């Protein structure tokens, strides 16, 4: 999931690739920290695989919960040893925890919306998507 960040004055922008590994290891916190005052940031959560279809194993859930117990609320049991993960919920939690309060986007599922988005999980073929942000 691309996460685009900008300060409200338009002086700084940043972008993070926030898949489960990046989210778990703190990529959003590190990006926000580099941009300065987190309370002055605006975040946009780009398209990602959605919470109704993104299935992960016990090890992924354990990694998130070990870092922050609040992450448990972003997981729904799917079948033994497997969980549905809401990447958007975790991203919002992480951003809010570091002081970002203006968070937009989220809710677009790359897996379910075949007309608009590429999904390797769905198509099993290569493709690319891009998100951009710049200072003007």
pTM for the model: 0.92
Among positive and negative, which fits the CA dihedral 8, 51, 18, 83?
Answer: positive
Domains of the chain: 2-123 (3.60.140.10)
- Mean pLDDT, the chain, rounded, equals 93
Q: How far apart are CA 105 and CA 114, in angstroms?
A: 19
Q: Which residue has the tokens 């999931």?
A: 1
The pLDDT assigned to 76 comes to 98
Label residue 134 by pLDDT band (50, 70, 90): very high
C-alpha angle 108-106-29 in degrees, rounded to nearest 5:
140
Lookup: tokens for 59: 């090890």
Lookup: tokens for 2: 């691309």
pLDDT exceeds cutoff 80 at 57:
yes
* Dihedral pair phi/psi, residue 5, rounded to 5°: -130, 145
């Amino acid at each position: 999931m691309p996460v685009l960040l900008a300060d409200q004055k338009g002086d700084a922008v940043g972008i993070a690739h926030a898949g489960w590994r990046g989210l778990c290891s703190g990529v959003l916190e590190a990006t926000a920290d580099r941009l300065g005052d987190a309370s002055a940031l605006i975040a946009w959560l780009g398209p990602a695989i959605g919470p109704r279809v993104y299935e992960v194993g016990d090890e992924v859930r354990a990694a998130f919960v070990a870092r922050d117990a609040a992450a448990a609320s972003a997981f729904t049991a799917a079948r033994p040893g497997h969980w549905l993960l809401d990447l958007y919920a975790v991203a919002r939690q992480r951003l809010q925890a570091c002081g970002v309060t203006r968070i937009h986007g989220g809710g677009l599922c790359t897996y379910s919306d075949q007309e608009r988005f590429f999904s390797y999980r769905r198509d099993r073929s290569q493709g690319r998507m891009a998100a951009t942000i710049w200072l003007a």
